[in-house]
């Protein structure tokens, strides 16, 4: 100070000036820093806004829709808006008009806002989910800087599934990718937060259904309001997926299973198209959309009826008498018996020192192949099985596609078991006992199938030894042959005629005879092969027999084969009306189509060249 006073030269004054301005500059610099720290950068959002003046906002691509074979929508999307209030701009006297504008209870809303007052200010207050168009108009017209700038809209895409769990196991659902999935090979190229298909078609065709998210480069102000759109990469929506499912049949199948536990699967033998695919009980996939309460999830997981269990491809149960036609075919083809082979059924028979009962206590009397299939005589098939031998039975069952995965385009398929001597040595390191063959001959013992396998096995028989690969995706391409087998048509006809007699000649399925449709089929009543359900809370009901019915129509021109599993349904004939009604729906629809001039060959698939439909090769796995 003193030096300056004495320094009266011009350069001295200049130095003072420079010093002054320097001081001011430093002061301003410090002030700006203080401002940044204390005024602008307060709170998490503000600091984020600072670093992201140019932001890339993701534009979520809608997932492809899932359509039935006629293009009717099974799974849709809906965009919805969620309103949150940012706490920073919120003023007490805005609460009431906002509540009124959104038709909220003012007191409730004020209480909610008050609850948030103790939390950090970057917590936003959720106001309303799924805004209606009116509410959206209110929000948009009031959230400008001069009215209620604290209102923030968040847009999201949601999946819309059918209610009541229609086709829930087939479709599956989407959810956020989990930690475990992120680490797995299958989802290697996904990021945390991605929505992926968790089950069913949603999972298997995840890559096809998933679109490519777009991006919007925007310049935002400190309130995160978009000021300028710098560039835009539009979102590419996922491809629509057309399934082979027919919603008419699917609906009837679902209705037929109401109040039951079981599964229904319908296949067009000529193409392998899956026309209906139902597993009951189902679940509402809409529950998985958005936020699911943990109690709801717990309820689903702990439900003794296992609503999440996909019975069509995962339920491995003894097929019971529905296995007999394969035994008959094996016996005929191997020459173990001929069509005239007959047996006297007295209600039971003794083999290897053990008594095996027939389901009819009084016995069927003398039965031949035709009547034995029609009446489902166990004693007849004990004999046929013993004469044919386990390995021959296994050979023909495997030929029909049992005991291995069908290769359907759905995740999680189980293979079932077709026992043989080699199988027993491999799995149990024990030799096969002849007595075991007796049980297998009537579809009991170690033999287990899934409903899909059974339907697939029959579809090949009905298609004269040509098994078409079962598939869910209707991609417009010719159906693929999975494998073929050389079967004597005469032997095949004898077996199928027997199945015709089941329904049409007073057999075990007579209750589902229809005068205008030649429905053929086979009932099955099977004891539980596994004891898994015994452990559940179902109690006595879990000990009851499973009811099966395999049906097809017509005898001359088999267009559809339907398998119904009615778990603990006691008697095979109780599963028959399920199949009958699905087949009736099939022919009723054909009649409608004939009436309206639409293509009639339903089984041969109604296809319209759809450019944006998924093409093969896009399968995720």
Partner 1 sequence: MTEFNDSVVHTPPGRMRVWSFRPFTWVLLPVLAILFQVYVPRFFSFLSYLELPLLVTVYFSIMRRQPPAGALTGCLIGLAQDSLTFIPLGMYGIVKTVIGYSAASVSLRFDVENSGLRYVMSFGFFIAHQVLFWALSHMLLGAHDDFKLPQTLIAAFLNGIIALPLFQVFDKLKSEAQ
Partner 2 sequence: MDGLFSRYRNLSALLLLLAGQLILLAWQIKSNGETRLLRVWAVTAVTPMARGMELTRDGLGGFFARWFMAGKLEQDNAQLRRQTAQLEIKNQLLQEQMQQSGRAQALLEFRSQLPSKSLPSRIIGSAPGVQSGVFILDRGSLEGVKRGMAVVTGEGIVGQVVASYPTASLMMLASSQGFAAGVTSQKSRTRGLLKGEGGTCHIFGIRNEQPVDKDEWFYTSGEDRIFPRGLRVGQARAVKDGVDGKEIEVRPIALDGDFAEVLILLDAVHGQIPELATPSNPDVQILDAPAPDQNGPMTDPASPATPGEAPSAMRTDADRIRDHYKRVVESQNFQVGTTPYRAPDFNRQPAAAPPALAPATGAVPDNQAVPVKPSPEPASAAKVPGLISQPSQRPKPPAQDRP
Q: How far is the CB of 299 from partner 2 (least distance, A)?
A: 19
Minimum CB separation from partner 2 for residue 416, in Å?
A: 24
5 interacts with, out of partner 1, partner 2, none, CB within 5 to 8 A per kind? partner 2
Contacts 24+ apart (CB under 8 A), 115-122: 116/87, 120/43, 120/44, 121/43, 121/87, 121/88, 122/43, 122/44, 122/45, 122/87, 122/88
By CB under 8 A, what part of segment 48-87 binds partner 2? 62, 65, 67-80
Label residue 353 left, alpha or beta by phi (over 0 means left) and psi (-120 to 50 means alpha).
left
Q: Is the dihedral of CA 227, 232, 234, 235 positive or negative?
A: negative
Of partner 2, partner 1, none, which one does residue 221 interact with (CB within 5 to 8 Å by kind)?
partner 1
162: partner contacted, choices partner 1, partner 2, none (Cβ within 5-8 A by kind): partner 2
203 part of the interface to partner 2, by CB under 8 A: no
Quote the DSSP letter at residue 229.
E
Could you confirm whether 321 is annotated as catalytic?
yes
Please identify which residue in 514, 538, 570, 618 interacts with partner 2, judged by CB under 8 A.
514
220 binds, among partner 1, partner 2, none (CB under 5 to 8 A by kind): partner 1
How far out from the chain centre does Cα 2 lie?
89
Identify the residue whose tokens are 């401002």: 35
Residue 250 · residue 276 · CB < 8 Å: yes
Residue whose CB is less far from partner 2, 220 or 387: 220
94 binds, among partner 2, partner 1, none (CB under 5 to 8 A by kind): partner 2
Number of H helices, E strands in the chain: 22, 21
Separation between Cα atoms, residue 600 and residue 489, nearest integer Å: 28
Place of tokens 């996909």: 310
Map residue 61 onto helix, strand or coil. Answer: coil
Q: With binding defined as CB under 8 A, does residue 242 bind partner 2?
A: yes
E runs forming strands in 545-620: 546-553, 560-566
The minimum distance between CB 79 and partner 2, in angstroms, equals 4
Of 106-165, which residues contact partner 2 (CB under 8 A)? Answer: 106-107, 110, 114, 130, 132-134, 136-138, 140-147, 157-158, 160-164
Close Cβ partners of 574 (under 8 Å, ≥ 6 residues apart)? 547, 566
Angle, CA 315 vertex, CA 314 and CA 320 arms, to 5°: 140
Interface of this chain with partner 2, residues 161 to 200, rule: CB under 8 A: 161-164, 166-167
Let me know: does 472 contact 67? Beta carbons within 8 Å. no
Q: Which of 86, 315, 321, 420 is catalytic?
A: 321
Least Å distance, CB 229 to partner 1, is: 13
Strands 66-67 vs 241-242: parallel, antiparallel or unpaired = parallel
49 interface partner picked from partner 2, partner 1, none, CB below 5 to 8 A per type: partner 1
Instruction: Tell me the closest approach of the beta carbon of residue 494 to partner 2, in angstroms.
Output: 21
Q: Which is nearer to partner 1, 220 or 255 (CB)?
A: 220
Q: How far apart are the first and last CA of the chain?
A: 82
5-34 binders of partner 2 (CB under 8 A): 5, 16, 20, 24, 27, 31
Is 481 among the residues that bind partner 2 (CB under 8 A)?
no
Cβ proximity to partner 2: between 80 and 464 the closer is 80
Least distance (Å) between residue 594 CB and partner 2:
9
Establish if 252 lies at the interface with partner 2 (CB under 8 A).
yes
Interface residues toward partner 1, by CB under 8 A = 32, 35, 39-40, 49-50, 53, 145-146, 219-222, 227-228
Smallest separation (angstroms) from partner 2 to the CB of 342: 23
Catalytic residues: 321
């Amino acid at each position: 100070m003193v030096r300056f006073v004495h320094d009266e030269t011009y350069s001295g004054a200049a130095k003072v000036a420079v010093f002054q301005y320097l001081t001011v500059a430093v002061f301003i610099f410090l002030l700006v820093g203080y401002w940044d720290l204390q005024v602008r950068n307060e709170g998490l959002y503000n600091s984020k806004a600072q670093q992201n003046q140019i932001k890339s906002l993701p534009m979520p691509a809608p997932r492809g829709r899932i359509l039935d074979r006629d293009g009717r929508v099974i799974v849709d999307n809906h965009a919805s808006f969620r309103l949150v209030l940012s706490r920073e701009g919120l003023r007490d006297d805005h609460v009431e008009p906002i509540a009124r504008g959104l038709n909220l209870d003012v007191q409730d809303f004020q209480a909610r806002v008050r609850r948030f007052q103790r939390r950090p200010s970057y917590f936003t207050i959720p106001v309303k989910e799924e805004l209606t168009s009116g509410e959206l108009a209110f929000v948009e017209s009031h959230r400008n800087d001069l009215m209620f700038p604290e209102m923030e809209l968040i847009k999201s895409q949601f999946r819309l599934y059918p209610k009541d769990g229609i086709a829930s196991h087939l479709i599956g659902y989407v959810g956020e990718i989990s930690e475990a999935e992120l680490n797995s090979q299958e989802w290697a190229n996904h990021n945390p937060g991605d929505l992926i298909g968790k089950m069913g078609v949603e999972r298997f065709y995840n890559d096809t259904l998933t679109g490519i998210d777009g991006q919007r480069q925007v310049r935002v102000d400190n309130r995160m309001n978009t000021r300028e759109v710098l560039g835009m990469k539009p979102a590419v929506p996922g491809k629509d997926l057309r399934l082979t499912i027919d919603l008419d049949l699917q609906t009837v199948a679902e209705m037929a299973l109401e109040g039951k536990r079981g599964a229904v699967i319908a296949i067009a033998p000529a193409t392998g198209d899956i026309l209906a695919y139902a597993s009951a009980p189902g679940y509402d996939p809409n529950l998985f959309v958005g936020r699911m309460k943990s109690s709801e999830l717990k309820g689903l997981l702990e439900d003794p009826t296992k609503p999440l269990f996909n019975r069509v491809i995962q339920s491995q149960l003894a097929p019971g008498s529905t296995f007999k036609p394969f035994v008959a075919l094996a016996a005929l083809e191997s020459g173990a018996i001929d069509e005239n082979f007959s047996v006297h059924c007295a209600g039971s028979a003794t083999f290897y020192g053990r008594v095996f009962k027939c389901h009819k206590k009084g016995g069927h009397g003398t039965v031949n192949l035709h009547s034995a299939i029609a009446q489902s005589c166990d004693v007849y098939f004990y004999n046929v099985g013993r004469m044919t031998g386990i390995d021959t039975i296994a050979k023909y069952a495997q030929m029909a596609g049992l005991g291995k995965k069908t290769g359907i385009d759905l995740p999680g398929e189980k293979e079932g078991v077709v026992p043989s001597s080699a199988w027993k040595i491999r799995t149990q390191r024990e030799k096969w006992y002849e007595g075991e063959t007796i049980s297998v001959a009537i579809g009991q013992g170690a033999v287990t199938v899934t409903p899909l396998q059974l339907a697939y096995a029959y579809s090949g028989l009905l298609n004269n030894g040509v098994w078409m690969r079962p598939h869910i995706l209707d991609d417009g391409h010719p159906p693929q042959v999975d494998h073929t087998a050389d079967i004597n048509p005469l032997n095949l006809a004898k077996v199928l005629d027997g199945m015709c007699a089941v329904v049409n000649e007073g057999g075990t399925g007579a209750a589902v005879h229809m005068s205008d449709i030649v429905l053929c089929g086979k009932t099955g009543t099977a004891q539980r092969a596994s004891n898994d359900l015994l452990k559940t809370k179902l109690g006595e009901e879990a000990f009851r027999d499973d009811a099966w019915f395999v049906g097809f129509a017509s005898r001359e021109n088999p267009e559809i084969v339907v398998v119904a599993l009615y778990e603990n349904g006691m008697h095979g004939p109780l599963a028959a009306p399920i199949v009958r009604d699905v087949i009736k729906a099939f022919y009723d629809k054909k009649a409608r189509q004939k009436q309206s001039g639409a293509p009639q060959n339903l089984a041969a698939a109604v296809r319209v060249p759809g450019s944006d439909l998924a093409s093969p090769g896009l399968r995720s796995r």
